[in-house]
């Protein structure tokens, strides 16, 4: 084990006030992730997967304990510092793709780079490369409404990877896709993980995603009940 993990959570607790009561969404979660991992959070609905991803992604803050991401303590980041961390180092992939409808494919990917102070040429090169990875270089002018769900998610992946972040957080990326498209997406992400050494963390209960994981962390009621290295099976014989 390396000394300085890419991501480290220490007794992470997240409590939501619900009416008069409190809901413990994360209960003393301590985990470490190294660069290049391809890991997944699994567990039943409401077990805290999304909550954990959000805190690691600096979109949310812990109630107790802390998460240290790339050396930054999430609990002590200002809104601006959190935004800066996301801007440079974290890419998100959402269940609902979250593409911006008025922009075309190229522009949707380019937005990710707009805040990084690159020249137009540099941006163009990176965007086209990202679109090559997801095999959509021929659809730059299309709008999200003109794409299939699988294509939309591939645009979203391109948008996440185009800035070559250290971490990509994917919350149920395949939930809105059919099997064929799900496998496509997963293959793409495995390739990117190998090629760029990007760390992928999924939150999922999709069996198809789980088949690709190299590490499987099981959450139950906000607690880590199992954390195991697994052998990825890939698409296998029975899709």
Partner 1 sequence: MTLFKLALRNLLGAGLRTWLNVVVLSFSFVVIIWMQGVLKGMNNQAVTSLVDAEYAGGQFWHENYDPYDPLSLQDAHGKLPDELKDLVEKEKATPVLIIQGTAYPEGRMTTLLIKGIDPDQKIISLPSFFLNEKTGEIPAVIGNRMSENTGLKAGDTVTLRWRDVNGTFDARDALIVQVMRTTVQSIDQGQIWIPLDKLRELSDMEEEATLLIVEKNILDPPQVNGWEFKSLDFLVKDITQLVKTKTSGSSIFYVILLLLAMLAIFDTQVLSLFRRKKEIGTLMAMGFTRAKIIGLFTIEGAMHAVLAALVAALYGIPFLIWFAKTGWPIPESMDSYGFALGEKIFPVYGAGLVVGTTLLILLVTTLVSYLPTRKIAKLKPTDALRGKIS
Q: 39 or 168: whose CB is closer to partner 1? A: 168
Q: Which of 9, 47, 50, 188 binds Mg ion (CB under 5 A)?
A: 50
Among candidate residues 31, 33, 3, 27, the one with its CA nearest the CA of residue 13: 27
Q: How far is the CB of 172 from ligand ATP (least distance, A)?
A: 7
Pair type for strands 64-69 and 72-73: antiparallel
Selected from 28, 72, 87, 208, the binder of partner 1 by CB under 8 A is 87
Q: How far is CA 85 from CA 57, 97, 177, 218, in A?
A: 9, 21, 30, 27
Query: Taking the complex as a whole, how short is the minimal distance between the CB of residue 131 and ligand ATP, in angstroms?
Result: 29
Does 141 engage in binding with ligand ATP (CB under 6 A)? Answer: no
Interaction between residue 46 and ligand ATP (CB under 6 A): yes
Contact by Cβ (8 Å): 115, 123:
no
Instruction: Decide which of partner 1, Mg ion, ligand ATP, none touches 220; Cβ closer than 5 to 8 Å per partner kind.
Output: none
Coarse DSSP helix, strand, coil percentages of the chain, rounded to the nearest 5 percent: 35, 25, 35
Q: Are 53 and 171 in contact (CB under 8 A)?
A: yes
Cα dihedral angle (31, 35, 39, 41), rounded to 10 degrees?
A: 40
Instruction: Determine, following the binding rule CB under 6 A, whether residue 16 of this chain makes contact with ligand ATP.
Output: yes
Which of residues 86, 126, 139, 154 is near partner 1 by CB under 8 A?
A: 86
Of 17 and 71, CB closest to ligand ATP? 17
Per CB under 6 A, residues contacting ligand ATP are 16, 18, 23, 25, 43, 45-51, 203
Per CB under 5 A, residues contacting Mg ion are 50
């Amino acid at each position: 084990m390396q000394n300085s993990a890419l991501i480290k959570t220490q007794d992470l607790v997240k409590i939501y006030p619900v009416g008069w009561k409190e809901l413990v969404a994360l209960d003393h979660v301590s985990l470490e992730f190294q660069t290049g991992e391809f890991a997944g959070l699994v567990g039943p609905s409401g077990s805290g997967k999304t909550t954990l991803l959000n805190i690691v992604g600096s979109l949310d803050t812990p109630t107790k304990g802390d998460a240290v991401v790339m050396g930054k303590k999430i609990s002590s980041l200002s809104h601006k510092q959190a935004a800066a961390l996301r801007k440079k180092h974290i890419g998100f992939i959402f269940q609902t793709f979250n593409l911006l409808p008025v922009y075309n494919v190229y522009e949707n990917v380019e937005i990710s780079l707009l805040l990084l102070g690159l020249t137009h040429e540099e941006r163009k090169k990176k965007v086209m490369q990202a679109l090559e990875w997801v095999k959509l270089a021929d659809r730059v002018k299309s709008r999200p409404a003109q794409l299939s769900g699988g294509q939309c998610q591939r645009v979203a992946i391109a948008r996440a990877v185009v800035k070559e972040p250290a971490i990509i957080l994917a919350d149920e990326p395949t939930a809105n896709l059919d099997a064929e498209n799900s496998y496509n997406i997963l293959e793409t992400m495995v390739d990117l993980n190998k090629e760029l050494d990007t760390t992928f963390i999924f939150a999922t209960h999709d069996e198809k995603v789980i088949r690709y994981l190299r590490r499987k962390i099981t959450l139950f009621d906000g607690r880590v009940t199992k954390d195991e290295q697994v052998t990825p099976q890939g698409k296998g014989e029975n899709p």
